[in-house]
Amino acid sequence: MAHFAKIDSDSLVEDIVFVDNSITHETHADDTSTEFEQRGIDYLKGIFGSDTTWKQCSFNTWSNQHKLGGKPFRFNMPEIGYTYDSLRDGFIPPKPGNDYILIEKKLQWTSMVNWTSAYKEQVKTFRSDV
């Protein structure tokens, strides 16, 4: 099964659906197959409307790590309310509070609550969101 996130006009995930591999995969003469995201997108647009936006996602990807040792895909498996960031080509969970910053390598939030003010000042030299 391939997983797809429906993205609204504000880049928020509003639904997650499954598409059978028979739709997204092309089987070759040697019995190998190749997955094509666009096939799933076209299929879903046929059901939900041509004005919908879809991005494939991976059930096995979290914090830019693949649970089964494969290649991570789009940083995180999204849930409803996540944001799709087109520049990073990844899904970002909702920000838990004002004292959190985004860790770019994982597209995950980390708390600054226990950071010393001196450390925050050091980080500010590299980041404007602290």
pLDDT band of residue 19 (cuts 50, 70, 90) is very high
Query: Do 100 and 90 share a structural domain?
Result: no
Residue 128's pLDDT is: 84
Average predicted confidence (pLDDT) for the chain: 95
Task: Provide the token pair at 42.
Answer: 């076209």
Domain count, the chain: 2
Query: Do 62 and 6 share a structural domain?
Result: yes
CB 15 within 8 A of CB 4: no
Query: Do 27 and 66 share a structural domain?
Result: yes
**pLDDT at residue 91 tops 90:** yes
> Which residue segment(s) compose the domain that 125 sits in?
96-130
Residue 124's pLDDT is: 87
Query: Do 82 and 36 share a structural domain?
Result: yes
Give residue-wise pLDDT tens across range 54-83. 999 999 999 999 999 999 999 999 999 999
Query: Do 106 and 65 share a structural domain?
Result: no
Query: Do 19 and 30 share a structural domain?
Result: yes
- Tell me the sheet residues that pair with 109: 102
Q: Is 86 exposed, middle or buried (0-12, 13-18, 19+ CB in 10 A)?
A: exposed
Its pTM stands at 0.90
The 3-class secondary structure across 19-59, one letter per residue, is ECHHHHEEECCCCCEEECHHHHHHHHHHHHCCCCEEEEECC
Question: Coil, strand, or helix at residue 73?
Answer: coil
